[in-house]
Amino acid sequence: MTTTRTRATGLAVFAALAAAAAIPAFSEGSSHREAPAISQDPTADNTDVYAFRTPDDPATDVDESTTATLIANFVPFQEPAGGPNFHRFSDDARYEIRIENSAGRRADIRYVFRFETEHTNPDSFLYNTGPIGYDADTKSYTNLNTVQTFSVTKVWDNGRKRTYKKLGADLLTPPNNIGPRSTPDYESLVAPAIHEVDGDMKVFAGQRDDPFFVDLGGTFDLLGFRSAPPEAFSKGGDDSLTGFNVNTIAIQVPITDLTDNGKLPTDLNDPDSVVGVYSAVSRPTLRWRDRKVRANGRKFKVRHATKRWTQVSRLGQPLVNEVLIPLGQKDEWNASNPADDKRFEEHYTEPELAGVLNLLYKIGAPTENRQDLKAILLTGIPPNNPLGAPTTQIGSTRPVDLLRVNLAAAPTPFAEQNRLGLLAGQADGWPNGRRLGDDVVDIAERAVAGALAEPLGLPAPNGENAALAGILGDGVNENDQPFLTTFPYVGTPISGFDTEHPRPPTFPPAQP
């Protein structure tokens, strides 16, 4: 299918407006250990979600793109050398990528992933017994002792009817990247783990480099910087996720499978062009109920248990649970349905963080009635907005935390993508969807500081340090590893053998 390339009008104005407000430094690492309970359950921990119209489909002309790529990452801070029980997905969890396209109260489409692990030789402690290879005849890895496979099922609602379709089963995940003796040609082992299912859909699940980039060390050392300002605000930061891997689930699907009307969108101001994406992980729990039975002429009450799935983690927009939701509600937020997010609305419109930034930097950012943050993160940017940005509303202004992506925006070629996304005038960048290279930390910093407040009807930042506009940031502007230009796009995981941990600087001895 051929479509006409569509561009947002007014994005140059958007970029200019974004450069007119201070950019404070903050972050927690997008959903890496973001809530008390999930920090104790890392294999169920969502770290990041990405959604974008696929630039290399076909690779020769982005105007011909007809697919969308959805990526969800899990299991944060993976030490690559952590053998012999290397990181993997949990066999006892249900991983999902959910799509809303009709402003309903529950996901319209769900892609459900379940995993199963087998030890080919349970009497050995080894992860692999020699260099790992792939046997095309048996469609299996050789010398690999711990083998994980998965199934993917599509679930969608059509009115009152729920339909299930098994898209694939017994699909291989690749082995972890161990080192030059065990995985001498790692990318050759990834290729058999990229599966085509349901005719025109690609799917992958396995270990990759963590694509998120942020200076966590400086952030949590009371916003400490590693060099003198103002240079420290734009460079000199240390990517705290360097050398760490994650587990990635990636799917590439026809856009017409995601939209409510089944059509390829072309209008940036049409809510029908928008879908909302989030990931969720559930664990099995037991529900106890009493049942009355009769035996020998007498009535008895018997307790019996039924298994149910209980959501323990979810993630749509980056950084929300970290820096907007208060500590006492983080676990509740993770377990709740996005349709019930109105109860958290005050934390978007009266963000504690804005006051903290004003205290630290004297920005003068508005701290009440933050309808700009509500629109960007919770209800969607309205059609025909003064920013000239694509709408990200889905036919309703009901508060729902979703990663919203307007699929009418033509994809920017990989080589031309700017880390500041919409703020740099690129219609397909965050907060319209999210690409791997989008610097959500710096973009979010600008938004919380009030960069978009004035054009959306709120007072502009008016503090004495408003002149710092466009300067403050965490100093980390790109990932430590290159992204791929082909599916699954997330960079090659760091091998355990190649991981080095330099000794920290030695403090001088105490003076007598």
Type of residue at 349: T
Q: What are the structure tokens assigned to 365, written together?
A: 């950012």
Is residue 446 included in any domain, yes or no? yes
Distances (CA, A) of 481 to 209, 224, 245, 494: 7, 25, 11, 9
pLDDT of residue 285: 87
Domain contains 496? no
Tell whether 486 is covered by a domain: no
What SS3 state is found at 78? strand
What is the per-residue pLDDT for 467?
Answer: 60
* In a domain? residue 508: no
Instruction: Indicate the pTM of the whole model.
Output: 0.89
Rounded Cα gap, residues 366 and 361, in angstroms: 13
Q: Which long-range contacts (CB under 8 A, 24 or more apart) does 427-430 make?
A: 427/6, 427/7, 427/8, 427/11, 427/268, 427/389, 427/390, 428/52, 428/53, 430/318
Cβ 265 vs Cβ 66: under 8 Å: no
| Residue 489 included in any domain | no
Residue 106 lies in a domain: yes
Assess if residue 495 is contained within a domain.
no
3 state SS of 196: strand
Q: How many domains in the chain?
A: 1
Kindly state the helix (H) or strand (E) to which residue 440 belongs, with its residue range: helix 440-449
* Structural domain boundaries, residue 108: 11-468
**For residue 201, which phi and psi values (nearest 5 degrees)?**
-130, 140
Amino acid 330: pLDDT:
86
Chunked into runs of 10 residues, the chain (512 residues) has average pLDDT values of: 41 48 39 59 91 75 80 95 93 97 88 97 93 96 97 88 94 97 96 95 97 82 63 78 95 96 95 96 84 76 80 92 84 90 93 83 86 93 92 92 96 95 93 96 85 83 68 83 96 93 67 56
User: What does the pLDDT read at residue 381?
Assistant: 94
Q: What is the DSSP letter of 492?
A: P
Of 274, 303, 278, 279, the closest CA to residue 289 belongs to 303
Collapsing DSSP states into helix, strand and coil, what is residue 46?
Answer: strand
CA–CA dist 29, 11 (Å, integer): 28
Task: Answer yes or no: is 512 within a domain.
Answer: no
Q: Are 22 and 465 in contact (CB under 8 A)?
A: yes
